[in-house]
Amino acid sequence: MSYAAWGGGAHATAEVRAIRPASVDAARRGYASPGTSVLAFGNGRSYGDVCLNPGGTLIDCRSLDRFVDFDRTTGRLTCEAGVLLADILASICRSDDTGGAWFLPVTPGTRFVSVGGAIANDVHGKNHHRFGTFGRHVLSFDLARSNGEVVSCSPTENAALYRATIGGLGLTGLVLRATIQLRRVEGTALEAEDVRFDRLDEFFSLAAEADQAWDYTAAWVDCLATGRSLGRGIFSRARHRAGAGSPPPPLQPRITIPVRPPVSLVGGLGLRAFNALYWRKLSLRRSERTVGGYEPVFFPLDAIGGWNRLYGPRGFFQFQCVVPPAVAAEAIKDMLGAVAASGQGSMLAVLKTFGDLPSPGILSFPMAGATLALDFPDRGDSTRALLARLETITVAAGGRLYPAKDCVMTANTFRDGYAGLAAFKPHIDPAAASGFARRVGIIGPAAS
């Protein structure tokens, strides 16, 4: 059957055999006797082939959605790997009598990702500079291997397999259940501030200053702006607010895009107008402070269900890199210049600085520096040429690309960016495979 990742289109769709186990024991058995190569599938919120296994088997973890234990005193949560972060927010992350709450220590830009997927891509959020990656808060997990064994992993038990599985792209086995440490916060409401900036260097000053006092930071960049305005945008920062409880967002999106239009509705003149208008939304005061729920700050895109369909049947590509601090300003400037020159703007251009808290994972993506995320409707060769140009700038800067967002990086780029690859390889499960792993040569010969 056909399985699609979030980017859609032919580049993010695969024919697979799918197993949807109803229990962790059935999942263990399914993983041990797939009859083909095998890979876990979380909730398909990766953009490309990292969650697909063309011609092989996918163990679809969406039914592994039970909570096992939650200790209100310590904030330790044990759940099955298919539990979504949205379920944890809805059931557990609520203000108590003190106004405070247990909250997700780290969350990506959508809450519709599974715990297993968050571990396997070692996801990051807007608080990377304070809390590092999701994997730093994973206390332990049970991992099924294709020989039928279940291995308990933690920083002290099977520690090497623990480090390989965090950020291990699903290639070390199937996470059945995990224990994560939630974070105690003063309140679930957020104090948030948006600040307009006119040039790229202002972004770096704002980030350096805000990282001291704000938990969450990220900026939207107008990637069609050129010349003196190159890199202009809106810097957003937020922190939890004591005593101001905020209910969890609804599990269903408010609006849903019901069908995929025949052509992409994203791009062209509409995008240019959107970017110019959006940048001016703060024109009078240049900054705006609010107190409210966390949904608009963390998950603005989740309010529109199936927004990826707007890119039409060809789908879209996401690009995300990280480049080291010393060369970040220059490299990001070159990338924004390349995007502006190509005329293929991105609506969702997000720029953030990562801090230097190390990830536990051997292959984790985040490292200290600046990270830029962009998306482009698939226009064929011209889009691939732009992605290749952005990849070249990243590699020249000593940076790397994020597998969770990728569909095009070369084997050389992956090998050069991920120094831990040799240490990772012995932990790969002999039956595991993904489109991504084959393409970049983690297993078998690299695709040409």
Ligand X SMILES: Cc1cc2nc3c(=O)[nH]c(=O)nc-3n(C[C@H](O)[C@H](O)[C@H](O)COP(=O)(O)OP(=O)(O)OC[C@H]3O[C@@H](n4cnc5c(N)ncnc54)[C@H](O)[C@@H]3O)c2cc1C
246 touches ligand X by CB under 6 A = no
Alpha-carbon distance values, 394 to 371, 387, 413 (Å): 10, 11, 9
Residue 168, strand partner residues: none
- Report the greatest alpha carbon distance in the chain: 63
Q: Which of 39, 223, 238, 428 binds ligand X (CB under 6 A)?
A: 39
Nearest distance in Å: CB 51, ligand X: 3
Considering the complex, state which of residue 8 and residue 230 has its C-beta at the smaller distance from ligand X: 8
Considering the complex, state which of residue 89 and residue 404 has its C-beta at the smaller distance from ligand X: 404
Considering the complex, state which of residue 373 and residue 387 has its C-beta at the smaller distance from ligand X: 373
114 touches ligand X by CB under 6 A = yes
Considering the complex, state which of residue 124 and residue 438 has its C-beta at the smaller distance from ligand X: 124
417 touches ligand X by CB under 6 A = no
Nearest distance in Å: CB 315, ligand X: 13
Helices (H), 58-127: 85-91, 115-120
CB atoms within 10 A of CB 54: 15
Considering the complex, state which of residue 95 and residue 371 has its C-beta at the smaller distance from ligand X: 371
Rounded to whole angstroms, the Cα distance separating 214 from 207 reads: 10
Dihedral of alpha carbons 293, 298, 302, 304, sign: positive
* Residue 276 structure tokens: 């110019």
Q: Which of 14, 19, 24, 50 binds ligand X (CB under 6 A)?
A: 50
Three-state DSSP state, 74: coil
Number of chain positions touching ligand X (CB under 6 A): 33
Nearest distance in Å: CB 148, ligand X: 16
178 touches ligand X by CB under 6 A = no
Helices (H), 121-187: 128-131, 159-165
45 touches ligand X by CB under 6 A = yes
Q: Which of 34, 170, 248, 345 binds ligand X (CB under 6 A)?
A: 170
Rounded to whole angstroms, the Cα distance separating 231 from 368 reads: 20
Region near ligand X per CB under 6 A, out of 103-111, 236-244, 247-255, 419-427: 103-111
Considering the complex, state which of residue 61 and residue 393 has its C-beta at the smaller distance from ligand X: 61
Region near ligand X per CB under 6 A, out of 112-120, 254-262, 263-271, 353-361: 112-120
Q: List, in order, residues 6 or more apart from 351 with CB less than 8 Å away.
A: 203, 218, 219, 220, 221, 233, 332, 370, 371, 372, 373
309 touches ligand X by CB under 6 A = no
Nearest distance in Å: CB 320, ligand X: 8
Helix (H) and strand (E) counts in the chain: 13, 22
85 touches ligand X by CB under 6 A = no
Q: List, in order, residues 6 or more apart from 230 with CB less than 8 Å away.
A: 199, 200, 333, 336, 337, 340
Rounded to whole angstroms, the Cα distance separating 379 from 356 reads: 37
117 touches ligand X by CB under 6 A = yes
369 touches ligand X by CB under 6 A = no
Q: Which residues contact ligand X by CB under 6 A? A: 6, 39-46, 50-51, 61, 81, 108-110, 113-114, 116-118, 120-121, 123-125, 169-170, 174-175, 301, 404, 434
